[in-house]
Amino acid sequence: MTHSHPLDLAVVAEGLRQDRFPYVGVIGSATKRARFVSQLRTAGFAEARVAKLVCPIGAPGIAGKEPPVIAAAVAAHLLMARSAS
């Protein structure tokens, strides 16, 4: 989202706090996800809300860090989520 992990965490926390979305997705690594999950739990978020964090977002199996690749992977992920509901 941004180049600031604290700002990213604040945005994620607010998205989860709102409880309006089926999930909150973030571009990042499994390490970033683990860090965010730990921090969200420490902040008192219920496990059900923490479970709504999807990081890294994007369709599985699409590799690459270039912006067009990330955009395509996220678009595919959103289309797959929409089809599943």
Enter the tokens of residue 45. Answer: 């978020």
Per-residue tens of pLDDT for the chain, all 85 residues: 688 889 999 999 999 999 898 899 998 888 999 999 999 999 999 999 999 999 999 998 998 889 999 999 999 999 998 888 7
Judge contact between 49 and 19, C-beta under 8 A. Answer: yes
CA distance 57 to 66: 14
CA distance 77 to 18: 22
Confidence (pTM): 0.85
CATH architecture of 5-84: 3-Layer(aba) Sandwich (3.40)
